[in-house]
């Protein structure tokens, strides 16, 4: 998927109220996270919002963002974790979950080992 496709999907989800957009009230937390932890703008804003709004969980796939969540003791999940959980709760069939994992493998920045481990879980081998 291209950046434009992601933007279009995100815009559609926002309009359908499947995604809520929240404004960050203070830039100081965001700036500190970005500066001190070397996070990108989106990751720093996400974690600043999570900290200030006391988020229950953060959805993040960025390696530095995940490390920051661990350091800040913020509960987090990844797209792969969500696919696995949806299959476990029988929201997705095994075939659907494997297809979504394939898309994540193609367009995401996951290591081969992470994809292999997730495939094993989805196929019931782990």
Give residue 58's domain range: 3-77
Evaluate if residue 12 carries a pLDDT over 60.
yes
- pLDDT level of residue 10 (50, 70, 90 thresholds): low
Domain match, 26 and 68 both: yes
Domain match, 21 and 64 both: yes
Domain match, 51 and 111 both: no
Q: What is the pLDDT of residue 122?
A: 97
The Cα-based distances of 13 to 10, 20, 89 in angstroms read 5, 9, 23
Domain match, 65 and 89 both: no
Q: What is the pLDDT of residue 7?
A: 63
Strand locations in 9-104 (E): 58-59, 76-77
Domain match, 84 and 64 both: no
Domain match, 24 and 47 both: yes
Read off the pTM: 0.79
User: What is the rounded average pLDDT of the residues 81-107?
Assistant: 95
Evaluate if residue 5 carries a pLDDT over 60.
no
């Amino acid at each position: 998927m291209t950046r434009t496709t992601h933007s279009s999907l995100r815009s559609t989800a926002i309009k359908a109220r499947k995604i809520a957009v929240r404004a960050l009230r203070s830039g100081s937390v965001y700036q500190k996270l970005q500066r001190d932890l070397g996070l990108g703008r989106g990751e720093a804003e996400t974690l600043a919002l999570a900290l200030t709004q006391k988020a229950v969980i953060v959805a993040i796939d960025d390696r530095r963002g995940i490390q920051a969540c661990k350091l800040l003791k913020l509960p987090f999940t990844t797209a792969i974790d969500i696919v696995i959980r949806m299959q476990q709760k029988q929201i997705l069939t095994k075939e659907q979950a494997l297809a979504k994992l394939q898309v994540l493998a193609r367009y995401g920045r996951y290591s081969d080992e992470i994809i292999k481990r997730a495939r094993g879980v989805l196929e019931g081998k782990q």
